Amino acid sequence: MNVETKSLPLIGHFVGGRAVPEASRTQEVFDPALGRAVARVALASAEEVGEVVEIAQLAFKTWSKLPVAKRAQVMFRFKALLERDTDRICQAISQQHGKTHDDAKGELIRGIEVVEYACGAGQLLKGEHSRDVGPGIDAWSELRPLGVVAGITPFNFPAMVPMWMFPMALVCGNAFVLKPSERDPAAAMILAELLAEAGLPDGVFNVVHGGKEAVDALLAHPLVKAVSFVGSTPIAEAIYKSGTANGKRVQALGGAKNHAVVMPDADLDAAVPAMIGAAYGSAGERCMAISVAVCVGDVVADRLVERLKPAMAAIKVGACSQPRIDMGPVITKASQEKIQAYLAEGVADGADLVVDGRGISVEGHPEGFFVGPTLFDKVKPGMSIYTDEIFGPVLCVVRVETLAEAIALINAHEFGNGTCIFTRDGEAARDFTDGVEVGMVGINVPLPVPVAYHSFGGWKRSLFGDLHIYGPDSLRFYTRKKAVTQRWPSSGIAEKTQFAFPNLAR
C-alpha cells in the first residue's frame, strides 16, 4: 500500500455496537465520477468473520427473548432516524456509487417502506391457535427465529437492498451479519450507526466488509442459519449451492434481462418517458432496468425509435455534485470497459447502433467512469447484447410480429425477473400477464417493483431458492414454525395405554 492510499479515510467493520477503527487488509473505494479513490475499506479474513458471527450469536440469545413489541419499537425509532439523516445517507450513496441525489433518495424511500412493514411485527408474528382439537386438547403454532442470519448485498443499491433483508430478520428475533459491497460500503455503516442510536442492543446487527473470503466464511460457518443474497446469476447460483450444501436456508436473487413489450396501440406519450427512466435511470445498473423493448410490428418500432432519440439527447449525464443531472457514471472502470466492449460486439453482430454512448465527456471529470445512453435497433435474439445482462445504460429494440411471438421470446430467455407491457387493450394485458414466465409483471408500469407488503423475486435463473425477498415471504424465510399440542388431564382419572397412532378428534 502506497503512502497516498494509507492517507485515505478507513471504513472499518461495525461489530458489537461500534465501528472498528483498524484493519489488517484494505482496498480502495472510488468516487466513480472522479475516477479516483476517496477511501479505504477493511477486508475481513475468515477468522474475523468467525469472531463476528460468535458475537452475533451471543447477542441473539438475549434479543430473541425480548417481547416482539420491544423489537418493533426499535424499528419505529430507526425509521425516524432514517428520515432525519436522509441527505447524509444519500450523499454517501452518490459519492461512492455515482447515482444522482434524487435516485439515491428514491432508493432510500423504498428501503424505508420495508422498515415500516417490519414495524407491524406484532401482527405478523401472531401465530395460529386452535382450541379443543380433541377432548381437552388445544393446539397452536409459533414462529420462532432462526439465530444468526447473513445478508450479502450488491453495489447498485447500498441502502435499499440491505433494508430488504435486515428489518424483517431483526423483528423476527434474529441477529444479523451484513456483508455489503466493498465498492460502496459507507451507506451500510450509517445504517448500522442509526440502528445503534435507535436502541438496538450491541451485537444484534453487525457489518463485516470483504470479498470472496468473507463470503465463503459466512457460507461455511455453522452458526449462520440463513443467507440472503442479491447479485449476478453465476454468483447467486454458487452461493445457493454452497449455502444449501452447508445446511442453510438460502435465497439468492440473480441477474435479469427485462423486456418491455410495446403494442401497436400503446400510448407512446406515456411509454417513451417511462422507458427512458427505466432503461437509463441509475445508469442502467439495476436488476429491474428495462434493457429490451420488444415492438409488435415495424410501425410501432419505427415510431418508438424516432421518439426515443430526442428524449435520449435530452438526458444530462454528469457527476452527482453537478446540478440537474439525470444520470451518473457506472461503478468502476472495469464496468465502463465491459459495457463499451458489448457495444462494439453489437455493432459487429449487425445491430443498428442508433445512439452511441461511447466517448462521452463530462466537464471537470475527465477520468470519470461515464457511459452515455445507448440505443440499438433491429437486435436479434442470438446477439450478446440481447442474451447477456450488460448492467449499463443500453436499450435494445427487438421487432416481432405478434404478441404471442413476444411472449415466446421472453419465455425463451434464461432470466425471468421483471417485464412489462405498454398497451390500452385489457385482453392483451391479461394474455401477457397469464402467459409470460416472469416473476414480476407491469401493465404500463415499466419498473414493477412490488410494494413492501408484497414480495420481490424473479423466476427461472433470476432466483435460486423457494422464497422471495421482503414482504410475507421474508416472514417465512427468517422464522421456523413450531407446532404445540397441549392437554391437561383431569386429576384422579386413570389413563389407558394406547398403542394405535393417536387420533385426537375421536
Per residue in 217-240, pLDDT (tens digit) is 999 999 999 999 999 999 999 999
352 contacts 376 by C-beta, under 8 angstroms: yes
Q: Is 70 exceeded by the pLDDT of residue 149?
A: yes
Q: Can you give the pLDDT at residue 2?
A: 59
Do the domain assignments include residue 433? yes
Buried b (16+ CB within 10 A) or exposed e, 281-308: bbbbbbbbbbbbbbbbeeebbebbbebb
Domain count, the chain: 2
Work out the average pLDDT over 249-259: 97
User: What's the Cα-to-Cα distance from 83 to each of 32, 89, 117, rounded to whole Å?
Assistant: 26, 10, 15
Same domain, 313 and 419: yes
State what percent of residues in the chain have pLDDT above 70: 98
For residue 454, the model assigns a pLDDT of 95
| pLDDT score at 4 | 63
CATH number of the domain that residue 352 is part of = 3.40.309.10
Q: Which helix (H) or strand (E) holds 300?
A: helix 298-313
Torsion over CA of 72, 73, 76 and 81, rounded to 10 degrees?
-130
**Residue 501 in domain:** no
Query: What mean pLDDT, rounded, does the chain reach?
Result: 95
Give me the domain span that covers residue 300: 258-443
pLDDT of residue 271: 97
pLDDT of residue 505: 61
Look at residue 315 and tell me if it is in a domain: yes
First and final C-alpha spacing in the chain: 76
pLDDT of residue 394: 98
For residue 184, what pLDDT is reported?
97
Among the listed residues 287, 295, 320, 396, the single catalytic one is: 287
Q: What is the pLDDT of residue 168?
A: 98
Residue 268 has pLDDT above 90, yes or no: yes
443, 472, 491 - which closes a domain: 443
Check residue 365 and give its pLDDT: 95
Mean pLDDT of 379-406: 98
One domain for residues 396 and 309: yes
Interacting residues of 82 by C-beta distance below 8 A, sequence separation 6+: 89, 108, 111, 112, 115, 194
- Residues with Cβ within 8 Å of residue 346, at least 6 apart in sequence: 353, 376, 379, 383, 384, 385, 396
Clarify whether residues 15 and 138 are in a common domain.
yes
Average pLDDT over every residue of 328-333: 97
pLDDT given at position 135? 85
pLDDT classification of 3: cutoffs 50, 70, 90 = low
The answer to whether 459 touches 109, Cβ cutoff 8 Å, is: no
Asked if residue 398 and residue 424 are part of one domain, the reply reads: yes
Q: What is the 3-state secondary structure (H, E, C) of 402-465?
A: CHHHHHHHHHHCCEECEEEEECCCHHHHHHHHHHCCCCEEEECCCCCCCCCCCCECCEECCEEC
pLDDT at 431: 97
The answer to whether 339 and 390 are in contact (CB under 8 A) is: yes
State how far the Cα of 235 lies from the Cα of 248, in Å rounded to an integer.
Answer: 16
Residue 418 binned pLDDT confidence (cut-offs 50, 70, 90): very high
The answer to the question of residue 237 being in a domain is yes
For this structure, is 172 an active site residue?
A: no
Per-residue pLDDT tens over the stretch 16-58: 999 999 999 999 999 999 999 999 999 999 999 999 999 999 9
In DSSP terms, which residues pair with 261 in a beta bridge?
A: 294, 421
In terms of domains, do 55 and 126 share one?
Answer: yes
Given this model, what pLDDT does residue 295 score?
Answer: 98
| Contacts with 422 (C-beta within 8 Å, 6 or more apart), sequence order | 260, 261, 262, 263, 266, 267, 270, 271, 274, 275, 444
Confidence band of 506 (pLDDT split at 50, 70, 90): low
Q: Are residues 245 and 266 in the same domain?
A: no
Q: What is the pLDDT of residues 448-476, one digit of tens each?
A: 999 999 999 999 999 999 999 999 999 99
